[in-house]
Amino acid sequence: MSKQDWIIAAVIGATIALVSAVFGVTPPPAAAAAAASGQDYLRAVYNPLHFQPAAGLATDDQCLACHREIIDQRVRDKSPAGLSAKEAKAWYQQLSTYAGEQDTFHRRHLVTPMARQFMNLQCNTCHQGHDPREEAPGSSADVSQDTTAITLRKQVNPETVCLKCHGQMNYVVMGLPGPWQEVGEQMGNDCLVCHANIRTDRHNVNYLNAEAIEAAGKGNADVCYGCHGGRAWYRIAYPYPRHPWPNMPADTPDWAKDRPAYSEPRFAKPAAVVNR
Ligand code: HEC
Ligand code: HEC
Ligand code: HEC
Ligand code: HEC
Ligand code: HEC
């Protein structure tokens, strides 16, 4: 090797060492927490809490013992390209209901003011467990061989979780003449002109604060629309259960024939808390 080659090799070597020190050898936070608590990494990965039935019964504290970073991590002030988080806001972050600095996905659902006011989400409201060997249906790890049980490479099933609050508003079944952003004004920007008497048995699930939602939604459709079309990440609407309400018409419309009449049992409130 010539002297020049040696210098190039040394520079490359130092760069690799620096990059791996910064990105490579740093263990993921959960792994570090597992090591610190005297657990080895693989035992932590195969912790029963990552599988049913323990996953469904876990408390947030049990998960946070290893995954504290979910709450602690914050977004950058500036993107790597230098754009400041304060100025780079998406459309849904410019509504009257969006408060505070930009924040992480987990914090927006668990600890920010709106999350605390309207919701009571737990880790296992969304996370129902996962098999770290392979998160694909029909594989050797999928003992149920049920192709609908595992959502490909995801730890949360978006159709049964996210869609509830991030689907389209089904204005057609409501008999509205057009999408809410076009006709909302005509309705006085108030969902309760109809919903004071229609589908009134709502939000009685353990992950929502039903009373706080009704109080804030009175006369301000932005609150209701926020979870029913205003932050729609999907092109479809969620098929909500249709709880019977007083003076409900006896005939079930065709669109509602397959709808359940009650929320999923796993979201049931303790009996004493139900306010019907
Ligand atoms: C004993 C420590 C420990 C506990 C308790 C624990 N986890 Fe984990 N978890 C881990 C480790 C270690 C990993 C793997 C992290 C990695 O490889 O980056 C992991 C991975 C995950 C992942 C990502 C899976 C993937 O394949 O990328 C999710 C989601 C998760 N855990 C959720 C939970 C939830 C929800 C709970 C509570 C019901 C929980 N964990 C309890 C240690 C733990
Ligand atoms: C609103 C639903 C929701 C709630 C509540 C929630 N998570 Fe998550 N979590 C997600 C989604 C979605 C992902 C990304 C999954 C993927 O990549 O497939 C995720 C990812 C993770 C990961 C993988 C690492 C990462 O940052 O991507 C861990 C660990 C995790 N969650 C732990 C938790 C813990 C612990 C709690 C409770 C304190 C919790 N989550 C509450 C939806 C949720
Ligand atoms: C119970 C209702 C509910 C569920 C379930 C839910 N979200 Fe949300 N989501 C909200 C609310 C309310 C906000 C607005 C929070 C705010 O502005 O402070 C929000 C905000 C968001 C944002 C924007 C965050 C930001 O920084 O502006 C994203 C992205 C998101 N949700 C994705 C998801 C995904 C993915 C899932 C499923 C894993 C999910 N949500 C499940 C109610 C929900
Ligand atoms: C013109 C009256 C009217 C207005 C205004 C109205 N709705 Fe509705 N809504 C209805 C009717 C009617 C139904 C269907 C009742 C049934 O189940 O037969 C309905 C159903 C719903 C459903 C359940 C849909 C399903 O697929 O099961 C949701 C959620 C809903 N409305 C939310 C809202 C929100 C949020 C607003 C305000 C942004 C609003 N509605 C404004 C009349 C209205
Ligand atoms: C934080 C998110 C959130 C907000 C805010 C919200 N909803 Fe909902 N809404 C939901 C979820 C989630 C469900 C489904 C609950 C279940 O499975 O029973 C639901 C269900 C409904 C239903 C179906 C009722 C039935 O028959 O079970 C109606 C109607 C409805 N909401 C109207 C409203 C109105 C009106 C407002 C404002 C006063 C509002 N929502 C505000 C999340 C929200």
Our answer on whether the CB atom of 228 is closer than 6 Å to any ligand 2 atom is no
Closest CA to 113 of 133, 125, 98: 98
Query: What pLDDT shows up at residue 22?
Result: 45
Residue of 171, 182, 191, 218 to mutate, ligand 4, most atoms within 8 A of C-beta:
191
Token pair, residue 123, equals 């880790």
Ligand 2 centroid to residue 270 C-alpha, Å: 25
Q: pLDDT digit string (tens) for 72-82?
A: 999 999 999 99
Ligand 5 atom with least separation from CA of 195? 35
- Report which protein residue has its CA nearest ligand 2's atom 27: 70
Q: Is 161 in the pocket of ligand 3 (CB under 6 A)?
A: yes
**How far are the Cα atoms of 36, 48, 58, 65, 199 from residue 62, in angstroms, in the given order?**
16, 11, 6, 5, 37
- Kindly state the average pLDDT of the residues 21-50: 74
C-beta separation of 54 from 48 below 8 A:
yes
Query: Residues 127-162: pLDDT tens digits?
Result: 988 877 766 666 676 666 665 655 666 788 888 999
pLDDT at residue 275, rounded to an integer: 53
> Among 11-15, 119-123, 138-142, 187-191, whose mean pLDDT is lowest?
11-15
